[in-house]
Amino acid sequence: MGCDGCDDCRLFGHVMHSDYCYNDFISPMTNPVFFEDPRTLSEIRFIFIHHNVPTAAGGNDVQLVAAQVRAALTERLSLVAAKDGYIMSDNPFIEDGWADIAVGLKYNLYADPHSQTLLSAGVSYELPVGSTRSLQGNGDGEFHLYVTGGKQLGCDWHWISGAGLRVPADSGDESQVFYWSNHLDRRLTDRTYFLAELNWYHWVNEGEQTALAGVEGGDLFNLGSTDVAGNDIVTGAFGLKFKPRCNQELGVAWEVPLTDRRDLLDNRLTVDWIIRY
């Protein structure tokens, strides 16, 4: 597939190689469920998150272990399973349990290997099959509509930007959220990158749940709380990525809110390991 791939080399007879025309890019780290890489990829991405909750929302920490799966079905179309995993918590409002599962499709609208520019769009549906004690499994699920693009800047810089709308099937149990995420990286060596990211979350409509009124969950949680419509949270992150091989990425990023409003996020450490086909 693409520059260095083989259209006839299909894994399990269906999954194509990742598009290696854009192999100098690295994938975003933060807002991991929704900030999608614009490339057409076949990969497994293992994620570990250590998430500290503000004292006002019960304090202590929440951890997540997960594995995202992406599969290139054609040169432009890919299957994306971006949310799953197991949640472990010391927070009084969140108990241990399974996360919801999200599955969707992403289509590459524009790709120019010469200028290293991409634009893709996608849609996914989050199935409410997680553990309610972990603040999952509420409502009738939510749809995620998004666009994401990338561009190489000069020889060593890369910019990825993605925006999307999360639309709950049941507006009483979950809130409607718009986000805009940006990633900028600089290649330091052939295998090492520095990255910085910025995420903006805007609550368009609120739910009807009063248990944590005025508090919402950002990316991993959708509480459907009252008194959140019009709220904004901006987070910033920095980190490093290392490519031990051309088809692998190891990353670490530290994220904190840049706004006075924090809701469920005090700070977060994200670690990932990507293995591509």
Q: Is residue 9 part of a domain?
A: no
% the chain with pLDDT above 70: 97
Q: Model confidence over 141-159: pLDDT tens digits?
A: 999 999 999 999 999 999 9
Q: Is residue 5 part of a domain?
A: no
pLDDT at 127: 98
Say if residue 2's pLDDT is above 80: no
Say if residue 19's pLDDT is above 70: yes
Say if residue 7's pLDDT is above 90: no
CA distance 101 to 66: 10
User: Per-residue pLDDT averaged across 70-74, rounded?
Assistant: 97
Q: Is residue 10 part of a domain?
A: no
Say if residue 99's pLDDT is above 90: yes
Q: DSSP letters of 65-118?
A: EEEEEEEESSSSEEEEEEE--EEEE-STT--SEEPPEEEEEEEEEEEETTTTEE
Say if residue 267's pLDDT is above 60: yes
Q: Model confidence over 179-230: pLDDT tens digits?
A: 999 999 999 999 999 999 999 999 999 999 999 999 999 899 999 999 999 9
How many independent structural domains does the chain possess? 1
From first CA to last CA, the distance across the chain in angstroms is 11
pLDDT at 3: 66
Q: Is residue 7 part of a domain?
A: no
Q: Is residue 190 part of a domain?
A: yes
Confidence of residue 9 (pLDDT cuts 50, 70, 90): confident
CA distance 158 to 116: 9
Q: Is residue 141 part of a domain?
A: yes
Domain containing 78 — which CATH number? 2.40.160.40
Say if residue 176's pLDDT is above 90: yes
Confidence of residue 14 (pLDDT cuts 50, 70, 90): confident
Domain of residue 56 covers 20-276
Q: Model confidence over 58-69: pLDDT tens digits?
A: 999 999 999 999
CA distance 265 to 50: 11
Q: Is residue 203 part of a domain?
A: yes
pLDDT at 207: 97
Q: Is residue 167 part of a domain?
A: yes
pLDDT at 231: 98
pLDDT at 25: 97
CA distance 171 to 126: 14
